[in-house]
Amino acid sequence: MKRNSVRLGALVSFVALSAVAGLLVALAVTPGLAVAGATTKNAAAIFETLPDYLEIGKLPQRNVLFADKGGQQVPFATIYHQNRVSVSDAGVDQTAKDALVSGEDRRFFEHNGIDATSTARAVVGQITGHDAGGASTLTMQLVRNILVAEAEAIPDSSERQAAYKKATEENLGRKLAEMKYALGLEKHYSKDQILLAYLNIAYFGDQAYGIEAASQHFLGKSAEHLTPAEAASLIATVQYPTSRNLSTPANYQANKARRDVILDAMRAEGKLDQAAFDQAVATPVGDYVRLTPAVQGCLAVTEPGAGHWCDLITRSVVSLPALGRNDAERRANWKAGGYEIHTSLDLDLNAKAKSELEIYAPNTETRYDLGGVVTSLEPGTGRVRVLTQNKDFDNTKEGGGRTTTSVNYAVDQSLGESTGFQPGSTYKPFTLIDWLEKGHRLTDTVDATPRTFTPMTTCGSRSRTPDFHPKNDNGGNPGTVTALRATTQSINTGYAAMAQKLDLCDIRDAAKSLGVHSATGKELSTFPSSVIGSGNEIAPLTMAAAFSGIANGGVFCEPTFIDSVVDSEKRVLPGQVKSCTQAIDPAVAATTVSALKTVFASGTATAANPGDGVPVMGKTGTTDHAEQTWLVGSTTKLATAAWVGNISGHQDQYKIRGSHGAMNQQRLTIWKHVMQAANKTYGGGAFAAAPRASGGSTSGGSSSGGGSPTVEATPTSTPAPTPTSTPHRSPGHDDSARADE
């Protein structure tokens, strides 16, 4: 009784489909034809409301990130919503096309999108209980795949689920829609275009979409060159992608059974001769499977130290005008994929920086939460060439322990979730710049006697500052010093005395003109202690960019990461726009450089001098108890910031010794080794000469002069008021401002 009911239902379906088929033919010829009967009237109503055909639109594809290695751009990361590589007709072996037609739709090149014979055979098979194959043509299957792809692209989850259900539900309305769309596709596209679209859109299992990604994933080769057995095995998966895909030997038997049916059909259709058929069916499936894991995302990056760079690019790319007119369009296009993103990172130098951090600021440190960053960019362009840190990238919920993080400590909170670090004495050059802009000279003297420095001027208002009484590391009294000596030896009381003759807001504005800003976006502090690096938390890349502007004759360039974009149509689109401004007077910049060169010649960075003849300039910085330690410096070709310090907590790094000495000195060694490697590739010439009237050296040459290093002075002043900011995503971080050496 039950079998008779099933057969009766199948017969009804057959009658209905016959009516629909007749309707489609009639409407295709005479769209206004009146059709009698309730079923056909409803079908006609559905038919009339549908568009004439679907577009074979852009399919989700991989996005690939590129960077420099060995002097050329190479891929280093793959980002995608669907693992697909759309290929042209020439990119698919003819054997695969033959296998698809022979296995799925033998009359593909004869029908107009609807195969009445297959439809009738499918219904008869249901009536008799013998499976005689499906009723859907390749064109109809393509229609369903397009509708599913369109559904999956809908951002709203509830709308997406509803559209997916509508595209896949088993009823007469959906079948009718597929038939009409199939007729439309056949009118607007050639058979070859429809066949290629199917091969590009089909799901082959194990997250492989399209025949190229499937061939790469399962066979370890391109779909451009496939044997008959390989082609038939891939096509064998499309109807049952879960149970027949080649990701596991457990599926081999089911795959082979279907593969051999396809090969037999190819032989019957004259696509294979007997010898080729015999060889193909005799080949075990496992003989040609070369499973290549489909890895994507920044966690899968294998280039040393490039994981956080990958994450930075994925955060930045969605703001590129090249990807769309607004945020929603750009995000949708990025999700659709197919882009090549060409970035400025030098993978070789980045790997060198990462190795230095592993040696001198290891992420395996257990005594405190040790962080370390190296970042470099080009003066005159702003192109970032190095960006790496001691902790490896991991953005999973579980994380990888204290050796990993998703936080990018090199950049601002908006780009990497870090709130920055107090820059210490690396902030002093902005006081020096304002000093020179106000007409003072490097040879002018100030009273650097330790005391309470009051009053101070802030935005034109002169007021007492009873809490600002910095001291120097050696506890001594340097007495009267020149601005140059205060810079070379990083004398805090000397810089406090210089600031007394200036306006704290003007010092802040000098910093801002060179792109300096808080990592959290708040206004830079104008507390007196900010002169020596307290009260502001700044990202290492920001400091490197500021020093590159000083080195570049006062021309500051915003940091950029993305050079260009190539879309899925192979059109080259612009990357981030270069933005450079004359931030400070060239003469002031040259004089500042002449002072900062002495830091490497006979000052606090003597131990970091590369000693290779390439002129360098820069400034060290160390906050109270060496919680944060810095060296930021530049040649004419590359500016680099090295930071080693506390990510959270307040560990005194003077008291911590690593395998290579005191931790407060490791930033010097890291910077030196990275710049020695960089100078071999990028070189560097003489800086612009300082005007003689400024009191600085007129020479633009090397700063490799002698002299013994002096100890940076460290104040013990009362901290400035606590700035409000979020912690570096680590519990227990104290953001209170701390005085700097």
Quickly state the pLDDT bin for 2 (edges 50, 70, 90): very low
Could you report how far apart the first and last alpha carbons of the chain are, in Å? 94
Question: DSSP secondary structure string, 306-327?
Answer: -HHHHHHHHHHHTT-GGG-SSH
Report yes or no on 633 lying in a domain.
no
Question: Would you say residue 51 has pLDDT above 70?
Answer: no
Question: Would you say residue 293 has pLDDT above 90?
Answer: no
- In this prediction, what percent of the chain has a pLDDT beyond 90? 71
Question: Would you say residue 94 has pLDDT above 90?
Answer: yes
Which pTM does this prediction carry? 0.79
Report yes or no on 187 lying in a domain.
yes
CATH of the domain at 198: 1.10.3810.10
pLDDT of residue 716: 34
Strand partners, 56: none
pLDDT of residue 48: 54
Reduce the DSSP state of residue 629 to 3 states and report it: strand
Quickly state the pLDDT bin for 52 (edges 50, 70, 90): low
Question: Which 8-state DSSP code applies to residue 203?
Answer: B
pLDDT of residue 451: 95
Kindly report, residue by residue over 626-640, the tens digit of the pLDDT.
999 999 999 999 999
Counting the structural domains of the chain, the total is 1
- Say which residue, 133 or 80, is predicted with more confidence: 80
Quickly state the pLDDT bin for 178 (edges 50, 70, 90): confident
Report yes or no on 125 lying in a domain.
yes
| Domain range for 184 | 82-287
Question: Would you say residue 526 has pLDDT above 50?
Answer: yes
Question: DSSP secondary structure string, 357-416?
Answer: HHHHS-TT--SS-EEEEEEEE-TTT-BEEEEEESSEE--SSS--STTEES--TTS-HHHH
CB 537 within 8 A of CB 421: yes
pLDDT of residue 356: 98
Strand partners, 617: 634
Mean pLDDT of 250-272: 97
Report yes or no on 277 lying in a domain.
yes
- Say which residue, 348 or 120, is predicted with more confidence: 348
Kindly report, residue by residue over 113-135, the tens digit of the pLDDT.
998 776 665 555 544 554 444 56
Report yes or no on 191 lying in a domain.
yes
Kindly report, residue by residue over 466-488, the tens digit of the pLDDT.
889 998 876 679 999 999 999 99
Q: How far apart are CA 338 and CA 79, in angstroms?
A: 10
pLDDT of residue 29: 36
Strand duo 83-84 + 208-209: pairing: parallel
Reduce the DSSP state of residue 146 to 3 states and report it: helix
Mean per-residue pLDDT of the chain = 86
Long-range contacts of 473-481 (CB under 8 A, 24+ apart): 473/711, 473/712, 473/713, 473/714, 473/741, 474/711, 474/713, 477/448, 477/449, 477/450, 478/448, 478/449, 479/447, 479/448, 479/449, 480/445, 480/446, 480/447, 480/448, 481/445, 481/446, 481/448
Question: Would you say residue 647 has pLDDT above 50?
Answer: yes
Q: Lowest-pLDDT range, 136-140, 429-433, 627-631?
A: 136-140
Question: Would you say residue 732 has pLDDT above 50?
Answer: no
Residue bearing tokens 């499937």: 214
Report yes or no on 464 lying in a domain.
no
Q: How far apart are CA 580 and CA 699, in angstroms?
A: 26
pLDDT of residue 118: 63
Residue bearing tokens 């709203």: 156
Reading the block at residue 583, the tokens are 């931030």
Question: Would you say residue 731 has pLDDT above 50?
Answer: no
pLDDT of residue 166: 85
- In this prediction, what percent of the chain has a pLDDT beyond 70? 83
pLDDT of residue 346: 98
Report yes or no on 688 lying in a domain.
no
Mean pLDDT of 670-680: 98
Question: Would you say residue 345 has pLDDT above 70?
Answer: yes
pLDDT of residue 476: 77
pLDDT of residue 82: 84
CB 737 within 8 A of CB 617: no
Q: Lowest-pLDDT range, 31-45, 74-88, 193-207?
A: 31-45
Quickly state the pLDDT bin for 257 (edges 50, 70, 90): very high
Report yes or no on 180 lying in a domain.
yes
Nearest alpha carbon to residue 91 among 213, 251, 240:
213
Question: Would you say residue 562 has pLDDT above 80?
Answer: yes
CB 238 within 8 A of CB 246: no
Question: Which 8-state DSSP code applies to residue 581?
Answer: E
Question: Which 8-state DSSP code applies to residue 717?
Answer: P
Mean pLDDT of 177-196: 91
Question: Would you say residue 42 has pLDDT above 60?
Answer: no
